[in-house]
A and B are shown apart, each in its own frame.
Chain A
Amino acid sequence: MLLLTGKIFIYFNLFLVLSFLFLHNRFPNFFRPFTIRLIGITGCIPFLVLMLGFIVSDFTILNVSMNSFIDDPIFYKMASAWGSHEGSILLWIFIINLYLLFFLITNKNHKSIIRNILLIEVGFLFYVILSSNPFIYYEVTANHQGMGLNPVLQHFLFVIHPPILFLGYIGLIIPFSTAVYILSSQNFDKKHFQTILIWSKISWFFLTLGIVLGSYWAYSELGWGGWWFWDPVENISLIPWLLTTAIIHSTAVSIKKNELKIWSLNLCLYAFIAAIFGTFLVRSNLIVSVHSFASDPLRGMYLLAIVAYLLSFAVYLNIKSVKLFNQDKFYLLSRESFLLFNNIFFISAALTVFIGTIYPLFTEIIYQKQVSVGAPYYNVTFNILLAPAILLMALAPQLSWGKSTINYKSLWATLAASLVVGLLVFLIWGNMYFSLAAVLCFPILSVSLFTVPTLFKAKNISFVSQWLAHLSIAVFILAAVFTEQFDKDYNIEFSKNSQATQSLNRSIDITLNDIHESSFSNHQKIKVDVTINKSGDIIQLNPSKNIYQPSGQVTTEVSKKNYYFDNFYSTITSITESNVILNIVYKPLINLLWLSTMLLILGIGLSIFRKNKYE
């Protein structure tokens, strides 16, 4: 029943979208906002039907059979709807339609932009129908309870991370569609740029949140490479993020100074294409990733076709607008020129990530040699390229639009002070990377401190959001470098039947308290209770091993506890008849890192609600 409903609505939605695309010029009266709303609603239904199928465990749907277990908790059942490739593409379509419906609220009569959105949606609808249809009938045998969701995915972040990240990627569809409209109609009205700015901010918000949640999940799960691993799946989310950051900064110039317009529009085109291209890279399994998806070359080919389809739009519009290039004129020492510099750095950084991600493909095709590009590559390219951008971040908000002046005295004083701070940091901690980070971040920190009074006087929330975002980046860099440079790793062996205390170093003692087993609806748990005594403070840790039904698969569950801004991270290496071996990692300041990302997200969130001062 659900199977049929889902199928019918996919085709019905496709029918409506196609009839809109072909007929909206001939019968403009028929395609009023009501009809478009109907398109949006019918586009949302197939995913909701699939989710309902998971909730009621309708195993006649193949996808439900393969990815769900009858006794899974209800939240995981719902989330299983995007646990598989087919379901996640259906979620993709659901979100496109969600954005369409929200876009209709603010821009009722903008048929050209809506047409562009539907032109993209139609590509994904064909994708689902031709290669990734989850609504396939499955002959249920007696006592069939489902194959079960992969236990490794059973984590609360699995419930929220994928939809939020998708909201971020697909949010770029509206800037893309608007940019296509502006470039093809040559109607450079300010209000369209405002549409771009607000929707790319919404997308930026979700993208940042999605990336941070993914990063936290990878940190919480063993063997996923910690909070950032430069894995292809992580990289392909970073590229649209960097480009969206560039869009936000350049669109501000487009609106305020009527410049960098073609530049901003091109960023909108390529940011969305980058998001889709990234999906293609990981879904086709062309590139080896830890966070991989089930592979199927055919799926990859279809996605590549969609990328080519979007790219053809972009290239056509580039050729069409080539004569409009190079008309901008502005002063070197002005806020707009510094925003341009920000763009250049961010685009170069995105470029290095892109090249690093696809380089293994090249070597495999050309030299028949497999390589993998990891942290050492990005430490050289990405970090060095963004370092000057961090320094400019302190200076740029101080400049005014148009012709600006600099107080050279305080500029040199700040630079000198940051060098002194860097030297002091080096003397205290003896670590070169951390002192370099301190040199880079000190200007932002000091500027942020000096502008605290302005924070309370500011009439516009935009200053607050900018202040928060820039400060959070500085804090993030300091925390990230510190946690990577000063983390510690311990292996401890306990005999199982005795309560024993061992010393890790002068200030940390660890005691084994108890080992016990317990049963849950779909798994059994063996839990080890230990306490850490860090200079008098007691921290409880209980790492465990889970044995899942129906597969019998064993997973190692991490137990983390915070100690102020630090984090203790423990796992059971092995557990035998006689002894237990634990691995304990001490991650200093990692919570400051999470806190700074929350500040960044808050800053971005605030900027969405700013008063529109450009009108």
Chain B
Amino acid sequence: MKFQKINSRLKTRLIFFIIIFVCFSSAIYLISYALKDKISFFYSPSEMQALDIDDKQLIRVGGLLKENSLRLENTVWYFDIIDEQEISVAVIFEKTLPNLVEENKGIIVEGIYKNNILIANTVLAKHDENYMPQSTIDKMKSEGIWRGD
């Protein structure tokens, strides 16, 4: 009788352990699978030039918005992202650009790279408490009200 009781407890515990094991190991499997295939890489324009990028993969590109490159044609934005090596990538974006996007300022774009053009689906706008566009800082400096740095 006593033996049977222990036995059934053992069985229940074994089942618990199996469930916990299956759950955690599948979590780890999923994580490792997703980290291999499902993350988007973050490139600078010069890194992109050096690599052969699969046109199905979502990538993120960060750099400065090139001066005099931002223009709007038939409801589509065209602009270039440039980095310190003066290498740039052409971007097209079909939606409204978020606040704080400006020429000569940092920008991060997510999209698909196809035929040497980055087709963006998201343009990200950072917003920390001190963040201001460079032109605004310049304007404030010229008016003598800038107190930063």
Contacts and interface: CB of A to CB of B under 8 A. Distances in A.
A111 interface: no
Contacts, number: 181
A225 B58 CA distance: 15
Given A85-B129, A150-B129, A371 B30 contact: no
Residue among B19, B35, B123 facing the most chain A CB atoms (10 A cut-off): B35
Contacts of A84: 129-130
Contacts of B2: none
A359 B72 contact: no
Interface string B104-119: 0000101000000000
Interface string B64-100: 0000000010111100000000000000001111111
Contacts of A384: 30
A225 B99 contact: no
A214 interface: no
Contacts of B19: 341, 344
Contacts of A340: 16
B125 A153 contact: no
Contact of B27 (A151, A352, A552): A352
How many of chain A's residues touch chain B, expressed as a range? 35 or more
Contacts of A360: 42
Interface string A548-577: 001111111000000000000001111000
B101 to A, nearest CB: 8
A12 interface: no
A66 B39 CA distance: 38
Contacts of A292: 126-128
Contacts of A67: 129
A222 B99 contact: yes
Contacts of B77: 573
Nearest to B57: A376
B75 A493 contact: yes
Contact of B125 (A290, A337, A574): A290
A332 B15 contact: yes
Interface string A198-226: 00000000000000000000000011110
A34 interface: no
Residue among A144, A223, A374, A574 facing the most chain B CB atoms (10 A cut-off): A223
A174 to B, nearest CB: 29
Contacts of A484: none
Interface in A283-332: 288-295, 329-332
Nearest to A558: B96
Contacts of A493: 74-75
B122 A225 contact: yes
B42 A290 contact: no
Given A150-B129, A370-B41, A551 B75 contact: no
Contacts of B140: 550-551
Nearest to A552: B139
B53 interface: no
Given A223-B99, A371-B40, A581-B75, A345 B23 contact: yes
Contacts of B13: 329
A385 B27 contact: yes
Contact of A555 (B16, B20, B33, B99): B99
B132 A150 contact: yes
Nearest to A65: B147
Contact of B60 (A330, A372, A380): A372
Nearest to A583: B96
Contacts of B20: 344
B49 interface: no
Nearest to B24: A348
Contacts of A581: 72, 75
A150 B131 contact: yes
Contacts of B97: 223, 556, 573
B7 interface: no
A554 B27 contact: no
9 contacts: A147-B147, A152-B99, A152-B125, A291-B127, A332-B15, A348-B24, A369-B41, A372-B39, A553-B133
